[in-house]
Amino acid sequence: MLFNSFEFLCIFLPIALSVFFILGRWRGPSIALGWVVASSLFFYAYWNPWQLWVLAGSLFGNFYLGKRVSTGEHRRVWLSIGVTLNIAVLLFFKYSNPTVDKLDHWLDLGWNWHHVIMPLGLSFYTFQQMAYLIDSHRAGESEPSFLRFTLFVTFFPHVIIGPIVHHREMLPQFADPKVFTPQLANFNLGLPLFFLGLFKKVAIADPIGHLVDPAFAAAAAGTHLSLFEAWAAALGYTFQLYFDFSGYADMAIGLARMFGVQLPQNFDSPYKSRSMAELWRRWHMTLMRFMREYFYIPLGGNRKGPTRQKLNMFLTMVMCGLWHGDGAGWTFFVFGVAHGIAMIINLSWMRWREANNIQLGAWWEVYASWALTMLTWCLGLVLFRAANVSTAVDIWKGMAGVYGAALPDQLLAFVPVLKEWITPVRVLPHLAGGTVLGLMELSAMLALSVLLTLGFKNMAEISQRRRVLLLVLCFAFAIQGALFAGVPAQFLYFQF
């Protein structure tokens, strides 16, 4: 069930909310929380009921391990077992198919391996429970109620694509009696966020995806993209991914707020960043918080000298790339390596500036820093989207102009001087539907994306009065796009 589907918007959500508050008022907190758990499990099972077995095994196993790592003997041993088992499950579902296929190819074993389907949300709820085990070990206490633990993991707004939440952030909120009574303030905050996220998804991300997906498909099939095709595809995906994923995060936070629960912010205008380090701090903030607290700092963080800090930063970014990967190719590993190198360069540059007392104050320096950051990010996301590394390299060649530059002659007629270095063609068949109108639509969508990401405040910075106005403006566009656009499109991060 998708947040942008008719079933969710018109059936599931109204029933889940209204019954929760009715039970909270008349039957008590435990029954109301049980209803939210049941609703969340139904929401999750709606995709594929068999995946509940994986989720149930993860829940029971980590709840038991939480008790063992928090009290008694051999707590550290139990923690090691728990973390190892969680990683093993994640690796099995992510990498067993490609690993067996590669062994079969190399050794000619003739194995008839049945493809393992990765359960939705596995990466997110596995990391969330690993954090729970580590925190329980550190604090010497665990959650005593299996119902509350299940709620913490499966709460439907965040179970599929996050945000990744600490149990200490979420569970105490359900102990507040006010949660079980509808609060106007919560709906004033939650509804604008939800409809803003829905607007991002159905009015921006999905239309851009329809326009640029054919270009990536053509590149995967061996077609060389020319300069404008390659750049349009790369820039289009850069904004498609942002509005798709940040849209989901907005919807998740807004939905939780309607239930009286405040989830952590996951995006903070990352495309306004002036360095790669700043961009990663603002992008998928809860994942980077997890990586910092449970990987980077345990490796030593910045406490063991500059060389070790750079190595720790590099390894953290490689791990981040592998977390996104599906094992089918090297693209996400290379993505992690590339961003690890970029982070090392960024840190070295900042250290050099500090040592020489150099401040970036001039306007052109600020804009140059921003432009270089976004260029690096856009090039990296080609790896994120491409079918394999060779396809990504081929798209980069297109962006460098290796395969020439071409535009429809109808557009070149407006600027004849460009014909001296741009080849006139009838259409660009692999981009924006192969029509001039499609190219104009894509250009308009990219211009709108730039305006929204750079020219406006994010939701956390908007006043309450303007949030209500935003709700009114986004409502009609979002509902029309969600309910009347045919089959709803999945969110891009479902594959992770």
State pLDDT tens for residues 450-494: 998 998 777 666 666 666 666 666 665 666 555 555 566 777 776
* Nearest CA among 66, 35, 399 for reference residue 219: 399
pLDDT at 439: 86
Segment 35-56 shows an average pLDDT of 92
State pLDDT tens for residues 132-191: 999 999 988 899 999 999 999 999 999 888 799 998 888 889 888 888 989 988 988 888
Three-state SS string across 218-235, please? HHHCCCCCCHHHHHHHHH
State pLDDT tens for residues 407-435: 887 777 777 777 778 888 877 888 887 77
Which residue matches tokens 């390659």? Answer: 230
Report residue 115 as tokens: 């493809």
Segment 262-271 shows an average pLDDT of 92
Q: How far apart are CA 28 and CA 174, in angstroms?
A: 12
State pLDDT tens for residues 345-398: 998 988 888 888 877 667 788 889 999 999 999 999 999 899 889 999 999 999
> Cβ distance 367 to 272 under 8 Å?
no
CA dihedral 168, 169, 172, 177 (to 10 degrees): 180
CB neighbours (10 Å) of residue 187?
17
CA dihedral 304, 308, 310, 313 (to 10 degrees): -80
* Nearest CA among 239, 207, 219 for reference residue 429: 219
For residue 7, what is the DSSP state? I
- Look at 102-111, 175-184, 243-252, 392-401 and tell me which has the smallest mean pLDDT: 102-111
For 425, phi then psi, to 5°, come to -130, 165
The pTM assigned to this predicted structure is 0.91
Q: How far apart are CA 220 and CA 422, in angstroms?
A: 24
Catalytic residues: 324
Q: How far apart are CA 6 and CA 1, in angstroms?
A: 9
Segment 84-112 shows an average pLDDT of 76
SS3 407: strand
pLDDT at 242: 95
* Nearest CA among 19, 78, 77, 12 for reference residue 45: 12
